[in-house]
Chain A
C-alpha cells in the first residue's frame, strides 16, 4: 500500500551498474528530498543517501542519488556481491504528515 513505487527486483553482473527508480507524487517526492536505505537480510536498514544526493560518511561513491519531479533514482556502479540486499526509498508525505517508505527493490548480483 506504499505511495512510493519501486521495481521489485534488478540484477546485473559484477562490476556492472544498476539503477533503482522510486516513483511518487507531488505531495511526497515532488515536495521533499528522498533518502535511500540498504537492508541486508536479517539486519537493520542502513542509510545510503539523504537529501536526494548526499552520502553519509563511510558510504562509497559507487552509490549515487538523483531526483527530478516526482521521481528519484539510486545508482550503484561497480556492482559487488556485497551489494546484494533490499533497497528502499523514503521521504516525507506532506499531505499526511507522515514518513513513507517505498515498496523495496531486491538487487541481485549475477
Chain B
C-alpha cells in the first residue's frame, strides 16, 4: 500500500523559504513513477506546482518556476519542495502525490496535506 506523508513548518515568514518533505512508504521513489507537489489555497482550487522523476527530469508550473525547486532523496525515499520568497498568496494546503505519466497523466496516491501559512 503506497502512503505519502508531508512534513514541514506550518508557519513561514514573508520573503523566506518554504520547505516541505514528503516521505513515501510502500513504494520506491526510484521507479518509473513521477512525484509531484500540488497546493490549494483556502477556499480555492487545486494548483499543480512541480513534478520530478528519479532520472532527474523535472517539470514546473510556469507561474512558479522562478521560485520553486523539487528534489528527490532516494536513500530516504523522500522528495522535497522549496518555494522561495514567499508571500501571503502562498498560504495553502500543500499535498504531495504520486504522478503517473504514460498514456495520460494523473495522480493516484496523495498525502493528507499540510497547511502552510505565510505570516509575520
Q: How far is the CA of A66 from the CA of B60 in the complex (A)?
A: 28
**In the complex the two chains form, is B46's CB within 8 Å of A104's CB?**
yes
Asked if B112 is at the interface of the complex by the 8 Å CB criterion, the answer is yes
Asked if A80 is at the interface of the complex by the 8 Å CB criterion, the answer is no
**In the complex the two chains form, is A99's CB within 8 Å of B110's CB?**
no
Asked if B27 is at the interface of the complex by the 8 Å CB criterion, the answer is no
Chain B residues with CB below 8 A from A45, complex form:
38, 46, 95, 107, 110
Q: Using a CB-CB cutoff of 8 Å, which residues 67-114 of chain B contact chain A?
A: 95, 99-101, 103-108, 110-113
- Nearest residue (CB) in B for A44 is B110
- Kindly count the residue-residue contacts between A and B in the assembled complex, taking CB atoms under 8 Å apart: 72
Number of interface residues of A (CB under 8 A): 29
Number of interface residues of B (CB under 8 A): 25
Asked if A50 is at the interface of the complex by the 8 Å CB criterion, the answer is yes
Chain A residues with CB below 8 A from B48, complex form:
90, 98-101
Q: How far is the CA of A48 from the CA of B104 in the complex (A)?
A: 14
Chain B residues with CB below 8 A from A62, complex form:
none
Asked if B62 is at the interface of the complex by the 8 Å CB criterion, the answer is yes
Known contacts A44-B113, A50-B100; decide if A101 and B106 are in contact (CB<8 Å): no
Interface residues of B (CB under 8 A from A): 36, 38, 45-48, 51, 59-62, 95, 99-101, 103-108, 110-113
Interface residues of A (CB under 8 A from B): 2, 32-35, 37, 39, 43-47, 50-52, 56, 88, 90-92, 96-104
